[in-house]
Amino acid sequence: MDALSLGIGHLLTLPVLVSVFAGTVLGVIVGVLPGLGSVVGITMVLPFTFTLGQIPALALMLGIYCGSVYGGSISAIVINTPGTPQAAATALDGYPMARRGEADLAIGWTTAASVIGGLFSVAVLIVAAPQLAAFSLNFTAIEYFALGVFALICIANVSRGAMLKGLLSGVIGLFVATVGVDHVTGDMRFTFDNFEMTAGISLVPAIVGLFALSEVFVRASETHVLKETSMFRVGFRLPPWSEWKPRLGILFKSCAIGSFVGALPGTGAATAAFISYSEAKRSSPRRDRLGTGEPDGLVAAESANNAVTGSAMVPTLALGIPGDPVTAVMLGTFVVHGLAPGPRLFTEHLDLVYAVFFILIAVNLLMFVVGAVGAQAFTRVLRIPEPILMASVVVISLIGAYGVRGNPIDLIIAFVFGVVGFLFRKNGFPLAPMVIGMVLSEMIENSLRQGLLITRGDFLAFFERPIALALFVLTAAILLWPPIRWALDRRGKANTKNMDWTSE
């Protein structure tokens, strides 16, 4: 109880409150701008994190972290370009909604889902951090491989209706991520002796090209009928309770998926959002409408990716294992202040742990305010005349693509992926499977090869591990269920309808 009040005391000081505010606002802004994300946000405030006290520094970084994961959804909705890779799944339903003139409502859905996802994961962090940390240690390379294979189902789930094209898109994504250094042997792959290519194809320029530039190309290629832009509603509209009620199941399932994935270091919010979206696509009563502007998709993607933020603190605080550059910098501030993250943090510096909890709660609540106020401005973007909007998208996206690594080749990569995205869209290939492939490729490949090194080349040993085995069985069951159900239906009803389970 003492630590609890100390923790609240840490939050309720002017420097901390100012840092929470500044961090959240900055986080939402870098999240909204395509290409820029939490890492760029952290870079901008890095000098301050040294001079600020420890708690204000943590507040600043947590604000940027959560704000940027949320902010990415706004550009996904408004300009069909996920502001960060984490928001790629949000574009699938957010943009169709905005095209219908309901950007204000779409932002309402994602803002509420993000805040609920974020708060849910803080609750998980408060209740079960040490237990979750211990559980995450059951996940060795072999379990990561099984999880990666399981997550590949997402490709099939988001490709319904265009299964072959979706699978092809996914395979291209898996392949693209293998360009560059082979992390197990150190050899170079598919670089064609071009030195610049040895850095590989980074996710951000690829996504900026696939979504933003291709959108610009598509619009430029269409015969121009100037649309009545004022049909877009500006502002912020929360969906009514009657709309929420049937979606509570999806909401909490997605929160749980996000919190679980977040607790595994090195997986990340993009993976969580896709697994959750794909689960909604599999199980939602409104699954046929997913991809056409169905709120289920927004709820699933955004509550899951924001649920990652809180639970990513689990391995960071309880084990000292950072999941990404942001949590790594956070750990750095612990060291500077002479604190050791790890199990002892929870016994000896409980007030600090509570301070992190309260900061996270404050950040999530503030995110709601920033979203509601900011939406007034963000939705107005849709009323900007199309030529000006599209030109700005090109400039902003290319800045983002270059900003990640400071490598000029990323501009070429963004352009090439813009052309690929354009050809994909024109020919009905879905883009999301390619992103899923790129996100999962490295995890699947590296964990498979690490696992084989650990078992000294024995793949059958993978099935001796219970969690991995369960994931493999689940994967097989989900993939085999549609044909089995079809066969059962047919036998039951002696129905001679054509089998077309790929497009259901």
Partner 1 sequence: MVRTSVQHAVLAGAVALGLGAALSVDAQAFPEKPVTIIVPFGAGGGTDITTRTLAGPMAEALGTEIVVKNTAGAGGTIGAAETARARPDGYTVGMMPVGPMTTQPHLRRLPYGPDSFDYICLAYSAPSSLVVRKDSPFNSLKDMIDYAKANPGKLNYGIQAVGSIPHVAGLGVKEASGADFQFIPFKGSAPTFKAMLDGTVDMFVAHISFLTKNADQVKSIAMLMDERVATAEDLPTAKDQGFDLNFPIWGGIVAPKGIPAEAKEKLEAACEAGMKSDAFGERMSQLRMPVTYMSGSDFEAFVRSEFARNEGLLAKAGLKKN
> Would you tell me which residues interact with partner 1 (CB under 8 A)?
39, 42-43, 46-47, 50, 137-141, 180-181, 183-188, 195-196, 198-200, 202, 265-266, 315, 319-323, 325-326, 328-329, 331-332, 334-338, 340-344, 405-407, 442, 446, 450, 453-454, 456
C-alpha distances (whole Å) from 329 to each of 279, 296, 472 are: 33, 34, 35
Q: Which is nearer to partner 1, 184 or 423 (CB)?
A: 184
Residue nearer to partner 1 on the CB measure, 106 or 197: 197
Q: How far is CA 482 from the centre of its chain?
A: 28
Nearer to partner 1, 101 or 342 (CB): 342
Q: What's the min distance (Å) between Cβ of 139 and partner 1?
A: 7
Residue 112 or 314 with smaller CB distance to partner 1: 314
Q: CB 264 → partner 1: shortest distance, Å?
A: 9
- Considering beta carbons, is residue 235 or 342 the nearer one to partner 1? 342
For partner 1, give the closer residue by CB, 326 or 356: 326
- For the CB of residue 323, give the shortest distance to partner 1 in the complex, in Å: 7
* Least spacing, CB of residue 293 vs partner 1, in Å: 36
Please, where are the H alpha helices in 137-247?
Answer: 141-151, 153-158, 163-176, 203-207, 214-221, 241-244
Which tokens hold the place of 211?
A: 């979504």
Alpha-carbon Rg for the chain, nearest whole angstrom, is 22
With CA atoms as reference, report the closest residue to 368 among 69, 70, 43, 33: 70
Structure tokens at 358: 């309260």
Q: Which amino acid is at 178?
A: T
Q: Which two tokens stand for residue 23?
A: 């961090």
Listed residue (132, 111, 117, 90) closest to 254, CA to CA: 117
Nearest Cα neighbor of 118 from 367, 370, 374 is 367
CA–CA separation, 70 vs 86, rounded Å?
Answer: 9
Amino acid identity, position 443: M
| Nearer to partner 1 among residue 110 and residue 267 (C-beta) | 267
Q: CB-based contacts of 445: which residues, under 8 Å, 6+ apart?
A: 178
- Smallest distance from partner 1 to CB 80, Å: 28
What is the smallest separation between the CB atom of 119 and partner 1, expressed in angstroms?
26
HSE-CB for 74 with a 13 A CA cutoff = 35
How far the first Cα of the chain sits from its last, in Å, is 54
Q: Minimum distance from CB of 360 to partner 1 (Å)?
A: 20
Nearer to partner 1, 19 or 159 (CB): 19
Amino acid identity, residue 162?
A
Measured from the CB of residue 126, what is the shortest distance to partner 1 in angstroms? Answer: 22
